[in-house]
Structure 1
Amino acid sequence: MNIFIVEDDIDLQNIYEFLLITNGFQVIGKADNGEEAITKYRNFIEKPDIILMDHRMPIKNGIKATKEIIMMNKNAKILFASADLKVKKQALLAGAKYFLTKPFSCKQLIQKINLFFIKF
């Protein structure tokens, strides 16, 4: 199972990557902002099983990036993560399949990703 991490906080990117790899997932790419995520997604030969998408990022936020990725591939599976519960509805309407509220523990992230794979 491969995952694409979209997160502007480099420390969080690295934590997510370490956590995912040590739990048997493959990280096939990382992006620092929504625009970079769209470009990388477009260029993936093998699309990720899950995109872990942050909300607040420079250049293009997670909602806009989610919409554009879904326009490219309506079957893209996006796990949206934000501390701002006000964007939950927007994220789901944009095409995210699941919303994860920040902050979350490492255990919660792995549990949600495993549930995400089962459900979607």
Structure 2
Amino acid sequence: MTSPTVLLADDHAAIRAGLRIMLESHEVTVVGEAADGDIAVRNAAALRPDVVLMDLRMPGRDGISATREIVERGLSEVLVLTSFDEDELVFGAIRAGAAGFLLKTADARTLVQAVRTVASGDGVLDARVTRRALAAITKADVGAAAETDAVDRTALTAREQNVLDGILQGWSNAQLAQQLGISVPTVKTHVSNVLAKLGAESRSHAAAIARPRER
């Protein structure tokens, strides 16, 4: 597998240094760094990394706004590192189109695997992050998401329903292909259709709005 390239976006130099050591020791290439959202967007445009490893709280432009522009411009995939106290920020980043979310306490092996997964076009969604983010949504947001979910699910074909179920299980494109007996390119087409019909920006967003909620 080709070594993925990563841009580190965090306002703490010591954290960036630690992440660089963890990634480069596992043959992941760090092509640049950024201390705020504006620099993250500029460097993503200049360096075109496979993945931007994004912190959400940064001075000046925050990670949510930077994520939205990076995703909308197709500059890179975004993998967010978050803490337990950033629930509302996480949901904002989900809606901004981030492809993956990990807790900052993740070990090196988990982090590297997540980077490789996101670089390959799949999503990474830590279940603990999802539960806490959904719990932080306002009642209005829950109502809107539930209404959208009910409408959009009826537009999914049987195969797209299967793909959505796999996304909710956290399956990669390769796992979906194996489970459904179809090719990876076909899986990617179905995933794109599911996102469009749900009005989701990413696999993680689709999982967040389609995941069954406790009553």
Larger RCO, structures 1/2 (Cα 8 Å, 6+ apart): 1
Where is the helix percentage greater, Structure 1 or Structure 2? 2
Task: Select between 79-88 and 91-100 the one with higher mean Cα deviation.
Answer: 79-88
Q: Secondary structure at the match of 2:53?
A: strand
- Deviation string, structure 1 residues 63-100 (Cα, Å, up to 9, x no partner): 01011112221x62100111112222211110100111
For residues 42 and 110 of structure 1, the distance between their equivalents in structure 2, rounded to whole angstroms, comes to 23
Aligned residues: 117
1:119 deviation in Å? Answer: 5.0
1:109, 1:85 → 2: CA distance? 20
Q: Among all aligned residue pairs of Structure 1 and Structure 2, give the percentage whose two residues are the same amino acid.
A: 26
The SS at the match of 2:11 is coil
Q: Give distance in 1, aligned partners of 2:46 and 2:116.
A: 26
What secondary structure is seen at the aligned counterpart in 1 of 2:32?
Answer: strand
In structure 1, stretches of 5+ residues that fail to align are none
Q: Distance in 2 between matches of 1:117 and 1:49?
A: 5
User: Between Structure 1 and Structure 2, whose CA radius of gyration is higher?
Assistant: 2
Equivalent-residue separation in structure 2 for 1:39 and 1:117 (angstroms) = 19
CA contact (8 A) 2:9 2:33 kept: yes
Give 1:19 shift: 1.1
Equivalent-residue separation in structure 1 for 2:26 and 2:105 (angstroms): 20
Bigger strand share: 1
Instruction: Give the TM-score normalised by structure 1.
Output: 0.87
TM-score, length-scaled by structure 2: 0.51
